[in-house]
Amino acid sequence: MRAILNLLVLVTVWFWPGVAASAEEPIIIAHRGASGYLPEHTLEAYRLGIEQGADFIEPDLVMTKDGVLVARHDIYLSSTTNVASKPEFADRKRTVGDKTDWFVMDFTLAELKTLRARQPFPGRDTSFNDQYEIPTFDEIIEVVRDAGAQGKTVGLHIEMKRPDLFKSEVDPDLSDTLASAFAPLTDSGIPVFFQCFDGEFVREIAGKTNAPLVLLVAGAFDEQSQWFVLDVNLADYYDVVDGYGLNKALLFDQNFKSNGLVERLHSAEKVVHVWTARNDALPKGFESAEQELKLLFGAGIDGLFTDFPTTAVDVRREMLQ
């Protein structure tokens, strides 16, 4: 069944109404929403990403103490919220691993809703700090449904952060919880991908959902070549995943010459999504965001995560013309 789905996703992903016209048109994914402009993982950032023409929005999911899925990129809260300014939560600070901070699984949903989001990236607009709430997954789904009601089909490219931690501390049946949440989405025609860095968790959920599965791969920096190399045998997951979400550097050598990875994965009937294009964080040697985007689109990718969706939409349009 998974092998059949692998083939189908290559075809059907391009024909979800309103998403993309053909396999020559990669999807644009608003990374944490339009996070280059507004505080990430807020309903306002997701709506802006949709307004700017993104085909998918990307919620990173974590889980509250009372078992509610909410959107944060990290399991800790200090860099993206005003939690440090809340004296009532001073005693929640603790150490997990090598990080001392406030952690989402130590807060109920009601408590998290008293916090407000902040822009974590230096140099980006902070004028919207302390205005927006942390959204639940259900609230994000409603944003997508609202867009659909207005004639714009938008997908959800969902990532689960640290499933090992949330299984041990909150929900031992996390894969079942997620699969149950995905079912009404796929049944109602909302395009969905599920992605995770944890390959074993991807294996765990594979038999429980029909949502296309994407294994995230960061690679490792090789001191000898001074470039990124694969640190995972991608073929080990061919039987369970429909594609890969790759660190963009993994597609090229240190001179930004294609290494053929996209072609190899396409020959294995896998989609290739890459992260993350940022207008304000260009790789060395690039003079503009447009220059980098043209290289990435030209490499034949199937999807692109970006903090600045409007730029990617414009470049994709230009290249198609």
User: Could you give the residue numbers annotated as active site?
Assistant: 31, 73
Please state, in angstroms and rounded to a whole number, the distance separating the CA atoms of residues 17 and 29.
16
Rounded Cα gap, residues 275 and 314, in angstroms: 18
